[in-house]
Amino acid sequence: MKLWGGRFEKDTDSLVEDFHSSISFDQRLYKHDIQGSIAHAGMLGRIGVLTESEASKIISGLTDILKDIEAGDVQFEVGAEDIHMNIEKLLTERIGDIGKKLHTGRSRNDQVALDFRLFLRAEIDQTKILLIKTIETLLELCDKHLYTWMPGYTHLQKAQPITLSHHLMAYVQMFLRDLGRLNDARKRLNVSPLGSGALAGTTFPLQREEVARELGFDGVTWNSLDGVSDRDFALEFLAGASILMMHLSRMCEELIIWSSGEFSFITIDDAYATGSSIMPQKKNPDVAELVRGKTGRVYGDLMALLTVMKGLPLAYNKDMQEDKECVFDAVDTVQKSLLVMEPMLATMKVNHRVMEEEAKKGFTNATDLADYLAKKNVPFREAHAIVGRLVLECTQRGCALEDLNLVELKKVSPVFEEDLYEAISLETCVDKRNITGGPAAQAVQKAIAVSRQTLNGLK
Ligand code: ARG
């Protein structure tokens, strides 16, 4: 008979049994379920709802089950529906009727809310470790490439020269915000719903705060309806994970472009690229493409849970069993993506010379030439027009701005002097942008130091 079968006269249809069972996926919560049950049983013993000996029998029974599950010796049953009832059933089979007392003062509704929070808290911590490693690797690359010049782009057209260090620092800022979002989600997640019961709390004098503390929570939930029906913590994780994947995806897009023959800015290490089954010459950036592709899955996970939750009346509804697979999928996808991104970044080869050559092309110093005139009191709008005409001229002649001689330039504007060449050299264009947040080596060094401090604060 089902654990809840008392008021039923008929067995569940076998199709329904399979349809509503969640054990195939929620078995992933076994550790957290047992951890929560041990804390609950210990507390029931302390308040005298169970005798001390009953509580300790339950606790040692649960501890044995945990060991057996980890040893692979436990076969879960679809008929027992979910991980909570599978474990309770095993417990009763092993220690007898005392096992049936474990569920006193508790419902699967507050139990699953607790388990899911415990699970996600651990996974947020794991995700943080992987993200921190990625940020540290990026910061090391930034240390190394302060003088690796490259073109900066807008509209994927060459715009102004920057350095690789400066470019990668943009991603450091994104990932630091992602880390902050994970911390925020963790903070709001970290309260215990246990004691909310099915929806209306319980008549047993449970020590909610003590159990919460024992399980590492900062406090308890303050409304029993909300305690069992809130999945904001999962949504916040999924939202943060989606934004993080978006950042990884943008970075991957750039790695893909940069590793193309047309760009040749970087060479992805052989260990992180793959070949073609027909074209012998191919080396494809599949890893980066897959991370970009998997971003869509994580967005899907977020949309799935938002949609599951949107129409639900308070409090628990079975719809909410659909919360798990999307979170599991997002956790796995984000963690695997970070895990593979970090070494791919650390091992990629940077083709300095190509980057520098390309940084000089495309009139990336045109703004600096206009600024040169503006500094000599030519109104900027006028300077812009003058340089625009020079660019047109150069385009027709197939040369760069610095190839024009002073005589030619003076014809266009008498304020040009010999010092203009220095003012529009690649080095000057970057180095003079020594403004907070700018690409000059000094500015980037400062940003790196501040970012390292921020990272330490977020760890
Ligand atoms: N397997 C269920 C879930 O994941 C556990 C809670 C079930 N509660 C209930 N009253 N049916 O949501």
Looking at residue 64, which CATH number applies to its domain?
1.10.275.10
What average pLDDT is seen over the chain? 96
114 lines ligand 1 (CB under 6 A): no
The single-letter code of the amino acid at 142 is: C
Residue 276 among the catalytic residues: yes
**Over the stretch 362-402, which tens digit does the pLDDT of each residue have?**
999 999 999 999 999 999 999 999 999 999 999 999 999 99
Annotate 386-396 with b (16+ C-beta within 10 A) or e (fewer).
bbeebbeebee
268 lines ligand 1 (CB under 6 A): no
Residues 96 and 185 reside in one and the same domain? no
- Tell me the average pLDDT across 95-121: 98
Pocket test for ligand 1, best of 22, 23, 81, 108 (most atoms within 8 A of CB): 108
Q: How many residues make up the chain in this entry?
A: 459
State how far the Cα of 222 lies from the Cα of 5, in Å rounded to an integer: 32
Structural domain contains residue 148: no
Return the SS3 of 124. Answer: helix
Catalytic member of 155, 264, 277, 352: 155
Residue 155 among the catalytic residues: yes
Residues 375 and 316 reside in one and the same domain? no
Q: How confident is the model at residue 438 (pLDDT cuts 50, 70, 90)?
A: very high
337 lines ligand 1 (CB under 6 A): no
HSE, side-chain direction, 13 A CA sphere, residue 233 = 28
Residues 121 and 236 reside in one and the same domain? yes
Q: What is the structure's pLDDT at 413?
A: 94
Q: Which atom of ligand 1 sits closest to the CA of residue 83?
A: 1
Domain that includes residue 449, residue range: 358-458
SS (H, E, C) the chain: CCCCHHHCCCCCCHHHHHHHCCHHHHHHHHHHHHHHHHHHHHHHHHCCCCCHHHHHHHHHHHHHHHHHHHCCCCCCCHHHCCHHHHHHHHHHHHHHHHHHHCCCCCCHHHHHHHHHHHHHHHHHHHHHHHHHHHHHHHHHHHHHCCCCEEEEEECCEEEEEEEHHHHHHHHHHHHHHHHHHHHHHHHHHCEECCCCCCCCCCCCCCCHHHHHHHCCCCEECCCHHHHHHCCHHHHHHHHHHHHHHHHHHHHHHHHHHHCCCCCCCEECCHHHCECCCCCCCCCECHHHHHHHHHHHHHHHHHHHHHHHHCCCCCCCCHHHHHHHHHHHHHHHHHHHHHHHHHHHHHHCEECHHHHHHHHHCCCCCHHHHHHHHHHCCCCHHHHHHHHHHHHHHHHHHCCCHHHCCHHHHHHHCCCCCCCHHHHCCHHHHHHCCCCCCCCCHHHHHHHHHHHHHHHHHHC
- Tell me the average pLDDT across 409-422: 95
Q: How confident is the model at residue 449 (pLDDT cuts 50, 70, 90)?
A: very high
134 lines ligand 1 (CB under 6 A): no
State how far the Cα of 366 lies from the Cα of 355, in Å rounded to an integer: 18
Residues 234 and 248 reside in one and the same domain? yes
Structural domain contains residue 44: yes
Q: What is the structure's pLDDT at 2?
A: 80
| Cα 33 to averaged position of ligand 1 atoms, centre (Å) | 13
**Over the stretch 46-105, which tens digit does the pLDDT of each residue have?**
999 999 999 999 999 999 999 999 999 999 999 999 999 999 999 999 999 999 999 999
Given the structure tokens 């993506």, which residue do they identify?
A: 337
Q: Whose CA is nearest to atom 12 of ligand 1?
A: 321
Structural domain contains residue 1: no
Nearest to 137 by CA among 430, 339, 355: 339
Residues 345 and 448 reside in one and the same domain? no
Residues 409 and 280 reside in one and the same domain? no
| Cα 119 to averaged position of ligand 1 atoms, centre (Å) | 16
**Over the stretch 217-257, which tens digit does the pLDDT of each residue have?**
999 999 999 999 999 999 999 999 999 999 999 999 999 99
Looking at residue 221, which CATH number applies to its domain?
1.20.200.10
Return the SS3 of 161. Answer: strand
DSSP for 233-261, written as a single string: HHHHHHHHHHHHHHHHHHHHHHHHHHTST
Annotate 24-60 with b (16+ C-beta within 10 A) or e (fewer).
eebbbbbbbbbbbbbbbbbbbbeeebbeeebbebbbe
Q: What is the structure's pLDDT at 29?
A: 98
| Cα 50 to averaged position of ligand 1 atoms, centre (Å) | 25
Residue 323 contacts residue 116 (beta carbons within 8 Å): yes
Given the structure tokens 């980057």, which residue do they identify?
A: 355
451 lines ligand 1 (CB under 6 A): no
21 lines ligand 1 (CB under 6 A): no
| Cα 68 to averaged position of ligand 1 atoms, centre (Å) | 24
158 lines ligand 1 (CB under 6 A): no
Structural domain contains residue 275: yes
State how far the Cα of 332 lies from the Cα of 119, in Å rounded to an integer: 13
112 lines ligand 1 (CB under 6 A): yes
- Tell me the average pLDDT across 142-148: 98
| Cα 321 to averaged position of ligand 1 atoms, centre (Å) | 6
Residues 257 and 343 reside in one and the same domain? yes
Structural domain contains residue 151: no
Provide, rounded to the nearest whole percent, the portion of the chain with pLDDT above 70: 100
321 lines ligand 1 (CB under 6 A): yes
Q: Whose CA is nearest to atom 1 of ligand 1?
A: 82
Q: How confident is the model at residue 283 (pLDDT cuts 50, 70, 90)?
A: confident
Domain boundary among 303, 330, 353: 353
Q: Whose CA is nearest to atom 3 of ligand 1?
A: 321
In the predicted structure, residue 126 carries a pLDDT above the cut 90: yes
**Over the stretch 418-429, which tens digit does the pLDDT of each residue have?**
999 999 999 999
Residues 90 and 137 reside in one and the same domain? no
In the predicted structure, residue 12 carries a pLDDT above the cut 90: no
Residue 298 contacts residue 334 (beta carbons within 8 Å): yes
| Cα 307 to averaged position of ligand 1 atoms, centre (Å) | 18
Q: Supply φ then ψ for residue 417, to 5 degrees.
A: -130, 175
Structural domain contains residue 4: no
- Within 259-401, where are the H helices? 286-309, 323-347, 352-360, 366-375, 380-397
Residues 97 and 132 reside in one and the same domain? no
| Count of domains for the chain | 3
Domain boundary among 337, 353, 369: 353
**Over the stretch 164-175, which tens digit does the pLDDT of each residue have?**
999 999 999 999
Q: What is the structure's pLDDT at 9?
A: 87
Looking at residue 423, which CATH number applies to its domain?
1.10.40.30
Catalytic member of 32, 196, 276, 277: 276
Which residues are registered as beta bridge partners of 162? Answer: 150
Residues 97 and 114 reside in one and the same domain? no
86 lines ligand 1 (CB under 6 A): no
Residues 420 and 328 reside in one and the same domain? no
Integer CA distances (angstroms), 443 to 34, 169, 218, in order: 52, 11, 40
Q: What is the structure's pLDDT at 170?
A: 98
In the predicted structure, residue 1 carries a pLDDT above the cut 80: no
Domain boundary among 80, 104, 128: 104
Residues 285 and 318 reside in one and the same domain? yes
Structural domain contains residue 154: no
State how far the Cα of 117 lies from the Cα of 188, in Å rounded to an integer: 10
Structural domain contains residue 343: yes
Q: Whose CA is nearest to atom 2 of ligand 1?
A: 321
| Cα 134 to averaged position of ligand 1 atoms, centre (Å) | 37
HSE, side-chain direction, 13 A CA sphere, residue 350 = 18
In the predicted structure, residue 353 carries a pLDDT above the cut 90: yes
